[in-house]
Structure 1
């Protein structure tokens, strides 16, 4: 979004038209809608602006639910914005630590600042991009305890601020930035703030662990089985004795596995009746050993994040599969087994083997009314295919 588009949108006519539009349908006749709006006398620029926002609002419902229908977005801002369910957890961390004023440096469209303000905390949201700062101002307008400033994180005034939240921008207009020194603000700047006040820093879940401070709490977060972020907490925002945490949010609510350090591994054991797939947050937090011990399970291989045992995992931190057959990882043998069982729908998972699941499924040519999950992995020193069904 550019300034001209924003000016079209932030008018009484633009906002009224946006709210009056029917729900955006990507399969609908967009050209006919454009023609209809133009026939009503709306300018081309305004029509383009409101239809873009209608499309973004529809996408944003996955992150913001019904709140998306009263917010404005940019493409990049929506992509990087924290899901509202996760932002609420972040906000609760500040509230629980007794913080009364939070600076959100690099606030984007204002998702985290919104959740913080909703808990009654004062929040100063700083955003360097002019358009994005205006969008954040709109989204935070209902909260009198929230203020948006256009500027850089490095130049923000922090006198009196109790804690800082940062979500460094990890891409520019055209590409993802791999070097943390190029992020805005840089990772060194973000962690440097921890010398003076508590901070929370949101990062991508695949960040190099060597970049994470050893004396902070690091929390990996997954939503609906997808790892969405890692957050580094310092000072009063970090929990005593916790250095590793895996937070799982889903239909069950939320659950968390915590530890003072990476968990000690468990020894591999023989295949049991069930295969357990740990949540990605547990894997990234290196808490698989603690999870295995809580389930009475072992690993299938020292370097592979699958567990096995004789009982299903009644845990939000793992999914279980009943093992129907252990087969050699051989295409001909697998084709015969699938045909004998009349399995036509095959979900393929793999760890520890160099196989393209989509191509492998195509070569298996499954046919029939039944379904199953095929897990390609290693057990001990063997490459195996485990025919399983979800529990």
Structure 2
């Protein structure tokens, strides 16, 4: 839990004096070794706002890999953690415009305004509304919206997400997944609860951002969710599961794989509308580890069919073939071995292995523990893929993993 900002803190930070104080605080190291001296300097010059200054600068530094122009934003620690990374938010904004052109979009849990800013930048949106129950976050979002050149009329206000306050065409929500005691995982522990959002906004397009590990199958089986499930990754890390419901949606699973290359975001998508008939057969030239979004969306076989790959085992998410698709990592096979420590150690020693990446699926193996037992001491970097085919454990010693070409 970070510092708890007050409305007075935000008012100061938005003022001319506050901007000057933030510039001064930004010049400080604010490291563990310098913190006592830095606090003393800021307290002597800017009390009682020294803690707000330190927290703001710290949050800006955390947000540099996630948000646009972070050094101009007002942020909380929780707000940064839950904020959607800008390439993901940008991709969603573009899709909303494509699906619902010239609509008014209301983010009912806008927090510090990351999603609002991406929407407000776009032509094709009739208007953007952001609301949050926390007045401090609303004030921060109002400031943050001024840091971008808005293309759509934008309004920010304080409101409870479960009390409809607009007739907006499209609703976005991002229920909080943290409480004072840490992360929560049950659907009824989210704030606001997921099922309450579905009830309140029934009949309107509703887009709900959830944790990557959401059990969407349980949501379908137990609660009758009949909308679209979209699992999104960015640069190899799964970021969220997004639920699209309401008019114009249908039961569909979709994986969206994004890569950010110097501000240019490439996108790969696959859905369960595609065929999934593939064989399990002997390994080809490559072992392919599909992107995590594809695995979590249950679209491994669909990916294999699209790219002419096949499976080693019908129950395991590794693929194999003679090429590496856009949405995955490929490991060129050097040697196939058994999974005994003795066999692995002998083969790795013969290949002069020194640095070893270990990937495991379908076997009860701890990669870190195994690496210590194998004690590679050579000069060559290699990858070891451990899995099972049927009931038999098998290992593939490979060249270091490479990503497939950027999605088109």
| TM-score after normalising by structure 2 | 0.87
The separation in 1 between residues aligned to 2:39 and 2:66, in whole angstroms, is: 27
The separation in 1 between residues aligned to 2:43 and 2:157, in whole angstroms, is: 36
Residues 334-354 of structure 1, C-alpha deviation per residue, up to 9 Å, x if partnerless? 122222222110011111111
Q: Are the structure 2 counterparts of residues 92 and 261 from structure 1 closer, same or farther at C-alpha, using a change threshold of 3 Å?
A: same
Helix, strand or coil at the partner of 1:377: strand
The separation in 2 between residues aligned to 1:98 and 1:266, in whole angstroms, is: 38
Match of 1:243 in 2: 252
Question: 5+ unaligned residues in a row in structure 1: which ranges?
Answer: none
Residues 208-256 of structure 1, C-alpha deviation per residue, up to 9 Å, x if partnerless? 1221465322211100011101112234564xx7822111111463233
Q: Does the 8 Å contact 1:242/1:258 carry over to 2? A: no
Deviates more, 1:176-185 or 1:336-345: 176-185
Q: CA deviation at 1:317?
A: 1.2
Q: Does the 8 Å contact 1:242/1:259 carry over to 2? A: no
The separation in 2 between residues aligned to 1:265 and 1:153, in whole angstroms, is: 43
Q: Structure 1 residue aligned with 2:165, among 157, 168, 171?
A: 157
Match of 1:71 in 2: 73
Helix, strand or coil at the partner of 1:154: coil
The equivalences for 1:161-310 within 5 A come to 161-193=168-200, 195-209=202-216, 210-212=218-220, 215-235=226-246, 238=249, 243-251=252-260, 253-261=265-273, 264=276, 266-309=278-321
Residues 302-356 of structure 1, C-alpha deviation per residue, up to 9 Å, x if partnerless? 21100011x121x221211101111111112212222222211001111111111
The separation in 2 between residues aligned to 1:367 and 1:27, in whole angstroms, is: 35
Q: CA deviation at 1:12?
A: 2.8
| TM-score after normalising by structure 1 | 0.90
Q: Structure 2 residue aligned with 1:366, among 376, 392, 396?
A: 376
Q: Does the 8 Å contact 1:99/1:162 carry over to 2? A: no
Q: CA deviation at 1:190?
A: 2.0
Helix, strand or coil at the partner of 2:67: helix
Q: Does the 8 Å contact 1:262/1:285 carry over to 2? A: no
The separation in 1 between residues aligned to 2:185 and 2:254, in whole angstroms, is: 25
Q: Structure 1 residue aligned with 2:94, among 92, 95, 115?
A: 92
Q: Structure 2 residue aligned with 1:117, among 101, 120, 134?
A: 120
Q: Does the 8 Å contact 2:28/2:38 carry over to 1? A: no
The separation in 2 between residues aligned to 1:228 and 1:302, in whole angstroms, is: 27
Helix, strand or coil at the partner of 1:195: coil
The separation in 2 between residues aligned to 1:108 and 1:219, in whole angstroms, is: 22
How many residue pairs match? The answer is 383
Q: Are the structure 2 counterparts of residues 174 and 237 from structure 1 closer, same or farther at C-alpha, using a change threshold of 3 Å?
A: farther
**1:52 matches 2:55:** yes
Q: CA deviation at 1:367?
A: 0.5
Q: Does the 8 Å contact 1:200/1:237 carry over to 2? A: no
Residues 163-193 of structure 1, C-alpha deviation per residue, up to 9 Å, x if partnerless? 1111111222222222212322221122235
Question: 5+ unaligned residues in a row in structure 2: which ranges?
Answer: 403-408
Deviates more, 1:188-197 or 1:100-109: 188-197
The separation in 2 between residues aligned to 1:346 and 1:271, in whole angstroms, is: 21
